[in-house]
Amino acid sequence: CVIMAAQGYPDSPRKNDIIHGLDSVMATQSHSDEFHVFHAGTARSSTDPTKIVTSGGRVLGVTALGKDIRQAQSRAYAIAADIHFDGCQMRRDIGHKGLSKQ
Global confidence as pTM: 0.91
Q: What is the dihedral of CA 72, 76, 78, 80, to 10 degrees?
A: 180
* pLDDT tens-digit readout, 6-64: 999 999 999 999 999 999 998 888 778 899 999 999 999 999 999 999 999 999 999 99
DSSP label of 30: T
* pLDDT tens-digit readout, 58-99: 999 999 999 999 999 999 999 999 999 999 999 988 887 777
CA-nearest of 42, 53, 61, 50 to 85 is 53
2-100 domain in CATH 3.90.600.10? yes
Q: Where are the domains of the chain?
A: 2-100
Three-state SS at 75:
helix
